[in-house]
Structure 1
Amino acid sequence: MISWKSHVMDIKNVKMGEFIGYGTSFLAEYDMRVASIPVGYSYGFSRGLSNQGRVLINGHRVSVVGVVNMNMFLVEITHAEVKIGDTVTLIGNDGDLSISVSHFGNLSDQLNYELLTRLDKDIPRVVV
């Protein structure tokens, strides 16, 4: 089974009424916490996942907030215990939860094979 993982790079508090990310595409409707993930569309994480994608962190399914940037995206972690360095699962399993290639592809409007061919060749691979 394939998996794609990253880590939490940073965590910030966002006040109600503040915009998150480029182009003011996400307005915080309450005080929240967001985590920065160092993966973006240049690595194959589609901009189509802006404000709708999901990833797994510590057994929680969390939502992408704001626009996916070239080399990072943000997720809301208000109701999850998350710290810098924690593993982020973009595709694969985290406890009882999973995100399959086909689910990831459906959310990003890509075919499964298309999605896999867009993963940057510089992403380290580990064969298990």
Structure 2
Amino acid sequence: MVLAGIYLVLRLDQRHCILYWCLLFETIVLIHAYFFPMVGALWAAGLGWRIAKRTQTIRLAIVETIAVALTALFCCWQAGYFAVQNSLSATCYGQLGLNLLSVFDSADTWAHSPTSRWSYVLQHLPEIPGNYEGFN
């Protein structure tokens, strides 16, 4: 995605660039939002460069900005980006996961019995509630 953005910025032939940028942002939003700020910065820099070189009018730049923004918003809406009602903390973000000491943890925290230990040499390590998800 980033290479496609670099290619679109460096293309000599700027015909149909609005269409190509809209297609690229559509693809980016539907793949992963991680790429959106990186390619967005490339797009903004390329747009600014075209305006500075006077190869594109400000009016056409405004049309391109609106087209790209509407395309990205529509695809975000279709992909369900705005459907999440809860915050990340409400979905146990940061609580469930792998503790880095799980490799050395000898107890199966699902069973909670003295016979649930996996090793008699390594002792059970305390963990926060929810770290049993990453038991090795």
Q: Into which bin does the TM-score normalised by the smaller protein fall?
A: under 0.3
TM-score calculated relative to the size of structure 2: 0.24
* Structure showing greater Rg: 2
Bigger strand fraction: 1
Higher RCO by CA contacts (8 Å cutoff, separation 6 or greater): 1
TM-score calculated relative to the size of structure 1: 0.25
